[in-house]
Structure 1
Amino acid sequence: MATQLTTDAGQPALDWQDRRLPLADTADLRAALVEANVQTLLMVYVHLTHDEAMLATFQNYIKPPFAMPGTDIPEEYQQELREKLRHVLTTPGAAREDAPSKALMQRMMSVSVGEPVEDEFLPLLMDQIGFERSTPRREIAGRKPAPAGFKVLVIGAGLTGLAASIKLEEAGYEQVVIEKNPEIGGTWYENRYPGVGVDTPSHFYSYSFEITPEWTTYHPVGADMQKYLLHVTEKYDLRRHIRFETTVVSLAYDDEAAMWDVTVRGVDGTEEVLRVNAVINAHGPVNRWKWPNIPGFDTFRGVRMHTATWDPAVDLRGKRVAVIGTGASGAQLVPAIAGEVKDLTVFMRSCHWVIYNPEIAHEVPPGMKFALRHIPHFREWFRFRVYWFAADGLFANVLKDPEWPVDSPSVSALNEGMRQYALAHLDAKFADRPDLLEKLTPDFPIFSKRIILDNGWFDALKRDNVTLESGGIAEITETGIRMEDGTTYEVDVIVCATGFDVANMLGKLEVHGIGGRSLRDEWGHDDPRSYMGVTVPGYPNYFLTVGPNSAPNHAAGQNLISEVQVNYIIECLDWANASDKRAVEPRRDAFEAWNTQIDTRMQDMIWTHPKANSYYNNSKGRIFLSWPYRLVDYWNEMRGPKKDHFELH
């Protein structure tokens, strides 16, 4: 069934190019100018007029988050801005048709966020915020067309796999996308538990080439993400490339033909071998969910569920429910169900740092939606503002200060400041519950593992029908959970919010490269290594996404990583094609040098603090997941391959 994003009134959402001037001087417009973000309105006004005097008027009043002291923008300045912008928006010929210069754009960006936006960030920002739209590759003058019959197989139709399909189409490559589920979406199709949502702000967590204003909250709920991805699938007609309910079983490289033989299995168990030129593995790290390893787990006679395989038919009302796990999924689930269950016992192995973000549950008001839908450039400038405060500005928090005491529960003065900010929220919430305060106070640095955004999590733990249990579980019985101290909890339902087997990046997939070599043998269960998170020597034209040491664990930005990795992969294929070669493979020495650089760099990062332990580490403690530099650095690295680091076949 076709899915299209719509406005609250059920009308089709406007595409970016549909915003035209002049606008009608309506009550909706006037209301939007009052309700919409002032800093973004300022950017729109200057974008349309190039009036730098207004920047000078506002620049002393706009501060970044956590800046001290804060200064409110005077109301008379805000009113003057609204009136001037209303005139420009509604008066024929009042807006300039030429775009601001790069120098003016940079000044605008700096004023908008209250701190300097340096030159090095501009190419990324112009690309990711949507101000510059790249020409589809097949339309680039002088580019050699993709070879006829050259086929790329994409594993997975989630956020990354769909991006790969769109860009492969734009580049003219034949493709097939293999999806194990009956529908697209990946994580956002599978995860349907109550309260499921996204840490990344809504107005950035989307493709830069498909920005939408149709978010219901400032942080997207899972259903909104799935609706967005369905919209993208229909708009770009991607279903014609996708084979649903099909699993990739194995990949085997044919050295002589420079082809991959891909064994796929249908839902009926029938297997087939597809012969393709290249493979993009976009199956993602968060679909291999895992049950807890607890004695007696299989003996429980009640209902067992994992958050990643939630059964909406299970009625929790009036039930005694156990939730095992207090990471991001558990912290979202518990507030969503605490009010309807009889008793809720939450089993915590280790606590997490929690940050209060008052916007996380806020609905996007009508005025903001109107501005995002109808006012030219508002969408892009708001996306810039959201991105800036959720991205590389946070990087300093994960960088160790070499002069900072190694036994401190923080790694720098800035990191300690964020720790105190989180502690203040914790202390305020549990001033009357010292028992919970003690259980929930972490002893490791903030940002050394995934942060939880408080969307009712702390309040839920204080409810009379909720118990937080931090002791060890001895076993699961037929009727409940017995603790190591002998305490027994009788429950009707056990929900496991126990995460995913992230380190096993192959999952059940078998990959055999040149000479039959096995990637599973080389990686083992949980020690994956690659070159730049995308390629591996010995496996020509086999490309990873969200591969080893490419995850943006200091900030929001998985959508950015997905886009830039897809860009890099197609640049590699285009280079091989332009060179009349069939395949591209990283050199062994480049791979080894890169991994040595990564391991050395990790000693400067928060994730190697003595008390840091998370799913970013493998069983030996190596940080296999995190990208130890900034997002802008990865964006730059992904512009195209360093040709002396590769061999062409």
Structure 2
Amino acid sequence: MTPLEYPQDAGNSLTRDDLANQVKRVADEFDIRVLHSTTVKATAFDEESKLWDLQLLSGEDERAVSCKHVVLATGAGLQGPYVPDIPGIELYGGVNMHSVSYKSAKKLAGQGVKSVLVIGAANTAFDVIEDCHDAGLTTTMVQRSPTYVIPFDYILHPEGLGIFDYVPAEIGDAITQAGPLAVGGPILGAVHAKLAAAEPNRYAELTKAGFQVLDSTQADLLDHLVDRCGGHFVDIGSGVELLATKKVDVKAGVYPVSYTTNGVKLSDGSTVDADAIIWCTGFKDVDIRQDISEMLGDGAEAIRSKMDATWGVDSEGEIRGLWKRHEKVDNFWIFAGGTAQHRYYSKVVALQLKGALEGVLYEAYRDLPTGAQ
């Protein structure tokens, strides 16, 4: 991201505080003005001046901003919480929330909650069941379909992201990020599949407890990250042990079909009661275009109609719409990805911005040439 490195005591698994402190450190070091609690009321692009005009709202204060380039860095796959629309919500009298609103199990316990139903079985759901169990709440997970589970030690293998333990970050970045995704993706998948094939019974006890597991011989990490923007579980923490020992119950292969007075009715006809329901069901769409109006306000639809699709894989095997100019929108950039991508692609975007501002960035390649050309 910048020459500023993370503290030496930061491990391979960065915490929330590690990330937040680093962002603050960068902002302080480079005197970046950060507007908190601010939304965009309206956005417009002047084709003649090639300038963006934005109206910002900070509380009750409104201000105008004019700039040559706009970088949208709200993340991919976070276009509004998704909660299945099932009947009977007015019947349920307990706490009912999507995981974006979840703060802590201790806070739920303070509200009198003693039992929790967690809908979902990917990374967020495992974080929630661990927190709820540790707080002494009776916890049940509903797993609607099989979950791809990848051990954290596979990710840290030297043939994968573990390369950073052996080479400097800039070399590791070049190895893991600079090559074509269509080439590097299958190579990484083959590494994970080899590791899983060597220990076919790693999740036997978890399967015996009723949880439906897909390992790396059956599913692929990059497919989940790029096509679904999630839906998998990185095995770190105590979640697997909690389910395997039945300290946390699991209802697998079923899904909620309606609310009841005390919980939900599942697709197999059974019911589950709980004082709180936490929907760890992800977000609406990985394509940023779907909720662009919520991000850029009035005028966003004119931008949306010209934007490239985002996330997923394009015809050349690369991630769509990120870190490069959009075909039909001038001076507009979208930034998203994980921490390794932040560090590498921030340089890619910054160099393009610098080139554009200096007038040395070549014109975007927008149209396929015809035979006459």
Q: TM-score range by the shorter chain?
A: 0.7 to 0.9
Of residues 331, 334, 337, the one that matches 2:129 is 334
Question: Residue by residue, what CA displacement relative to the aligned partner does 1:502-538 show, whole Å, maximum 9, x if unpaired?
Answer: 424142235899xx98232356998998666422233
TM-score, normalised with respect to structure 2? 0.74
Which runs of structure 2 are paired with 1:555-574 in the superposition (5 Å)? Answer: 557-574=340-357
**In the alignment, does 2:213 pair up with 1:440?**
yes
SS of the equivalent of 1:251 reads strand
Residues 342 and 465, structure 1, Cα contact 8 Å, conserved in 2: no
- Output the CA distance in 1 between the equivalents of 2:129 and 2:175: 28
Of residues 284, 295, 300, the one that matches 1:509 is 295
Counterpart position of 1:222: 16
Counterpart position of 1:97: none
Distance 1:261 1:541, change over 3 A: same
**In the alignment, does 2:234 pair up with 1:453?**
yes
Residues 265 and 272, structure 1, Cα contact 8 Å, conserved in 2: yes
Counterpart position of 2:194: 417
**In the alignment, does 2:333 pair up with 1:543?**
yes
- Output the CA distance in 1 between the equivalents of 2:172 and 2:48: 49
SS of the equivalent of 1:288 reads coil
Which runs of structure 2 are paired with 1:158-237 in the superposition (5 Å)? Answer: 207-237=1-31
- Output the CA distance in 1 between the equivalents of 2:16 and 2:262: 32
Which runs of structure 2 are paired with 1:335-374 in the superposition (5 Å)? Answer: 335-357=130-152
Cα RMSD for the two superposed structures: 4.1
Residues 304 and 495, structure 1, Cα contact 8 Å, conserved in 2: yes
* Deviation at residue 420 of structure 1 after TM alignment: 1.8
Distance 1:469 1:524, change over 3 A: farther
* Deviation at residue 425 of structure 1 after TM alignment: 1.8
SS of the equivalent of 2:131 reads helix
Distance 1:416 1:237, change over 3 A: closer
- Output the CA distance in 2 between the equivalents of 1:568 and 1:321: 48
Residues 539 and 585, structure 1, Cα contact 8 Å, conserved in 2: no
**In the alignment, does 2:257 pair up with 1:489?**
no
- Output the CA distance in 2 between the equivalents of 1:389 and 1:543: 24
Distance 1:557 1:474, change over 3 A: same
**In the alignment, does 2:252 pair up with 1:462?**
no
Counterpart position of 1:305: 97
Moved more, 337-346 or 527-536: 527-536
Which runs of structure 2 are paired with 1:92-131 in the superposition (5 Å)? Answer: none
Which runs of structure 2 are paired with 1:37-186 in the superposition (5 Å)? Answer: none
Distance 1:217 1:255, change over 3 A: closer
Amino acid aligned to 1:434: K
Amino acid aligned to 1:263: Q
Residues 311 and 322, structure 2, Cα contact 8 Å, conserved in 1: no
| Number of aligned residue pairs | 339
Counterpart position of 1:10: none
Distance 1:297 1:381, change over 3 A: farther
- Output the CA distance in 2 between the equivalents of 1:426 and 1:396: 29
**In the alignment, does 2:72 pair up with 1:278?**
no
Residues 321 and 341, structure 1, Cα contact 8 Å, conserved in 2: no
Distance 1:416 1:242, change over 3 A: closer
Counterpart position of 1:172: none
SS of the equivalent of 2:82 reads coil
- Output the CA distance in 2 between the equivalents of 1:348 and 1:521: 37
Distance 1:243 1:510, change over 3 A: closer
* Deviation at residue 572 of structure 1 after TM alignment: 3.4
SS of the equivalent of 1:568 reads helix
Amino acid aligned to 2:94: G
Residues 545 and 565, structure 1, Cα contact 8 Å, conserved in 2: no
- Output the CA distance in 2 between the equivalents of 1:480 and 1:306: 15
Counterpart position of 2:324: 534
Residues 259 and 278, structure 1, Cα contact 8 Å, conserved in 2: yes
TM-score, normalised with respect to structure 1? 0.45
Residues 173 and 344, structure 2, Cα contact 8 Å, conserved in 1: no
* Deviation at residue 486 of structure 1 after TM alignment: 1.8
SS of the equivalent of 2:201 reads helix
Counterpart position of 1:499: 282
Gaps of 5+ in 1: 1-206, 362-377, 401-410, 594-649
- Output the CA distance in 1 between the equivalents of 2:214 and 2:353: 46
Structure holding more strand per residue:
2
Question: Residue by residue, what CA displacement relative to the aligned partner does 1:252-293 show, whole Å, maximum 9, x if unpaired?
Answer: 11122222121222323x544422222121222254341312
* Deviation at residue 500 of structure 1 after TM alignment: 2.6
Distance 1:352 1:397, change over 3 A: farther
Question: Residue by residue, what CA displacement relative to the aligned partner does 1:145-181 show, whole Å, maximum 9, x if unpaired?
Answer: xxxxxxxxxxxxxxxxxxxxxxxxxxxxxxxxxxxxx
SS of the equivalent of 1:399 reads helix
* Deviation at residue 539 of structure 1 after TM alignment: 2.1
- Output the CA distance in 1 between the equivalents of 2:17 and 2:30: 20
- Output the CA distance in 2 between the equivalents of 1:521 and 1:421: 49
Gaps of 5+ in 2: 157-163, 226-231, 315-319
Residues 250 and 509, structure 1, Cα contact 8 Å, conserved in 2: no
- Output the CA distance in 2 between the equivalents of 1:384 and 1:499: 33
Distance 1:501 1:297, change over 3 A: farther
- Output the CA distance in 1 between the equivalents of 2:262 and 2:29: 49
Counterpart position of 2:305: 521
Distance 1:395 1:523, change over 3 A: closer
Of residues 313, 320, 326, the one that matches 2:115 is 320
Distance 1:351 1:485, change over 3 A: closer
Distance 1:333 1:395, change over 3 A: farther
Which runs of structure 2 are paired with 1:369-448 in the superposition (5 Å)? Answer: 383=169, 398-399=185-186, 416-421=193-198, 423-427=200-204, 429-430=205-206, 434-436=208-210, 439-441=212-214, 444-447=218-221, 448=223
Rg bigger for which structure? 1
